[in-house]
Amino acid sequence: MPSYQAVLFDFFGTLTCSVQRGTAHQATAELLGCPSAALTEVLDRTYYQRASGRLGNAEATLRWVCDQVGVHPSDRAVRAAVASRHRAVRADTRVRAEAVPVLAALRQRGVRTGLISDCTHELPAFLPQLAVAPLLDVCVFSVQLGCCKPDPALYRAACRQLDLAPAECLYVGDGGSQELTGAVRAGMTAARLAAPDLVDHLAFNVDRSWHGPVLTSLAEVLDLLTPVPCTVPA
């Protein structure tokens, strides 16, 4: 069993519990003046376009979404809807109970930690408020880098920030966005988190044919590691 120097995690559905859109999203639709179902359909259909960050900032992106829905709210309404959407996505986000203990245990073992997430503008804004934030050495967000998983640029960016080779890193995710096969193609070892709550998880472009390691709990990540040798001064 290899001695990994770092473990890189997906965020939604991995460091967090299963994600579904909650009732708070209704307020965003109301501010934009469109049916909630119409907004949800466009959000689902355009996820990767929005998560790539290529549509501009949060306001420009939501304005583009409105064009797809066929509504034309005022600038004031769009600004209010951006804040509403931020609150709604934050409300959907519940960090797994074992996330902080696992990240802390990895760091105690001398293993570095990181995050690679497909996301829209909300996550980079509220991640610093979460308990996992101080336990992550690097964070790579698709909306900031300009591409989504399984693009190797995301994995390489994390390795570059850690000054590690891909082979020295373990990647853990629920399998959305073909992230596991993407990690393997980038030169990493990957493991799929298949926790029971993920049956109803909102995910796109899932790795359906994954045949690699499968974990039923985030805590099982620790079982994939061997102790990192300590260097004893001569």
Domain ends where: 92, 109, 135?
92
Confidence at residue 205, expressed as pLDDT on a 0 to 100 scale = 84
Residue count of the chain, please give it: 234
Alpha-carbon gap, residue 139 to 143, rounded angstroms: 12
Alpha-carbon gap, residue 137 to 152, rounded angstroms: 19
Task: Please give the chain's pLDDT, 234 residues, in tens.
Answer: 568 999 999 999 999 999 998 999 999 999 999 999 999 999 999 999 999 999 999 999 999 999 999 999 999 999 999 999 999 999 999 999 999 999 999 999 999 999 999 999 999 999 999 999 999 999 999 999 999 999 999 999 999 999 999 999 999 999 999 999 999 999 999 999 999 999 888 888 888 889 999 999 999 999 998 644 433 333
Tell me how far CA of residue 204 lies from CA of 108, 134, 148, 149, 157, in angstroms.
34, 28, 12, 11, 22
Q: Report the sign of the C-alpha dihedral through residues 71, 61, 89, 84, in that order.
A: negative
Alpha-carbon gap, residue 199 to 195, rounded angstroms: 8
Tokens describing residue 127: 């991640």
Same domain, 192 and 83: no
Alpha-carbon gap, residue 120 to 2, rounded angstroms: 34
In the chain the first and final C-alpha atoms are separated, in Å, by 27
Alpha-carbon gap, residue 196 to 71, rounded angstroms: 39
Confidence at residue 41, expressed as pLDDT on a 0 to 100 scale = 95
Same domain, 32 and 134: no
Alpha-carbon gap, residue 94 to 73, rounded angstroms: 31
β partners of residue 214:
192
Same domain, 175 and 118: yes
Same domain, 142 and 116: yes
Domain extent for 198: 6-19+94-224
Domain ends where: 76, 92, 108?
92
Q: Omega before 152 cis (within 30°)?
A: no
> If DSSP codes are grouped into helix, strand and coil, which group holds residue 215?
strand
Confidence at residue 228, expressed as pLDDT on a 0 to 100 scale = 43
Domain count, the chain: 2
Confidence at residue 2, expressed as pLDDT on a 0 to 100 scale = 62
Domain ends where: 61, 92, 123?
92
> If DSSP codes are grouped into helix, strand and coil, which group holds residue 90?
helix
